[in-house]
Amino acid sequence: MMFSSKVLFGEAEFSVLDLDGAKALDENLMAYSFTEEGEIFLFGLKHSYKAYKGTINKEKLDKIFRFPDAALIIKPEEDGTFTHSYVSPTVDRRVISRGCRPTPHCPCIGCRIVDMWYTKAPGHMTPAVDVSEARVSPDGELVLPIFEGEEIISKLLMRDPSVRHAFSPNIFDSPLEQMFYELAFLDLHKYPQHPVGKYRLDFAIPDKRIAIELDGHEYHKTKYQRTHDAKRDRWLYGQGWTVLRFTGTEIHQNLDRCLDEICKLVGIERVSRSQQ
């Protein structure tokens, strides 16, 4: 509108903007100053609309022109899955999740960030990702802006121990399970304490029918528990599940080997390995 606006003096027309005096501020940014007639035009607008009660206000203009602190980028893959990437001032663009499928309550870290809310004051909840401001890039990627909470998310993805526990559900039977959940959150889309039949699995990857069981040092060394585990494993095998068992010693001493074994069976590339 400003580019085409004119001020009339008699039969003469004067542009509101100085179209010949444009200045390049950046590669894709030009600045145009107002002409003297344009300044008169602005002065008239100020007086004509000083009692304006419409819907356009400073708050809405600030929202329109705000710049995101970070972004979550979702790329559709040929196999029907999605790859999530994240970029912020402190985190170079990096893949944080592969093989995501559009299922309710997906446990991958990308979907968990989309579902994340934070509060500044009691009763005032704000989504970390503004889905309403999503845009599609020329490459067909969905770009979701993050306007607040970037510092917490970036710390989480950089494995800062000060925030990791806040993203862990409080449903674990043992510290070993919680530790495994927190250390493997980038690589595996795992559901903790997943019910199958009359049993509850330590972790499950349901779409692959993979059960992950962690055997602690004390509880699983009894004859009763070993018999119970064997009975459950036979039932799961009969239902088409693959059961992977790891001891606490294996998790503590060689977590990478455990994750490599699981990811190979699932058929996915380790995200944390590719970031090293």
- What is the reported pLDDT for 274? 46
Ranges of H-type helices in 173-216: 175-183
- What is the reported pLDDT for 147? 85
Backbone phi and psi for residue 51, each to the nearest 5 degrees, phi listed first = -100, 20
Across the range 13-41, mean pLDDT stands at 84
- As to burial, measured by CB atoms within 10 angstroms (0-12 exposed, 13-18 middle, 19+ buried), residue 45 is exposed
Q: How far apart are CA 242 and CA 240, in angstroms?
A: 7
- What is the reported pLDDT for 235? 93
Domain 168-276 sits in CATH at: 3.40.960.10
Lowest mean pLDDT among 90-99, 172-181, 224-233, 240-249: 172-181
Structural contact between residues 83 and 72, judged by C-beta atoms closer than 8 angstroms: no
* 3-state SS, one letter per residue, for 40-99: HHHHHHHHHCCCCCCCCCHHHHHHHCCCCCEEEEEEECCCCCEEEEEECCCCCCEEEEEE
Q: Using 50, 70 and 90 to split pLDDT, how confident is the model at 276? A: very low
Q: How far apart are CA 156 and CA 258, in angstroms?
A: 22
The domain ranges of the chain are: 6-53, 67-159, 168-276
> Structure pTM?
0.56
Query: How do residues 141-196 score in pLDDT, each as one tens digit?
Result: 999 998 877 887 888 777 776 665 555 566 677 777 877 877 777 677 778 888 89
Q: How far apart are CA 263 and CA 270, in angstroms?
A: 7
- What is the reported pLDDT for 50? 64
Q: Using 50, 70 and 90 to split pLDDT, how confident is the model at 240? A: very high
Across the range 129-136, mean pLDDT stands at 87
Q: Using 50, 70 and 90 to split pLDDT, how confident is the model at 241? A: very high
Lowest mean pLDDT among 15-19, 27-31, 54-58, 205-209: 54-58
- What is the reported pLDDT for 218? 53
Q: What does the angle CA 264 – CA 265 – CA 267 come to, to the nearest 5 degrees?
A: 65
Q: How far apart are CA 39 and CA 35, in angstroms?
A: 6
Residue 72: Cβ within 10 Å count:
26
Chain-wide mean pLDDT for the chain?
A: 80
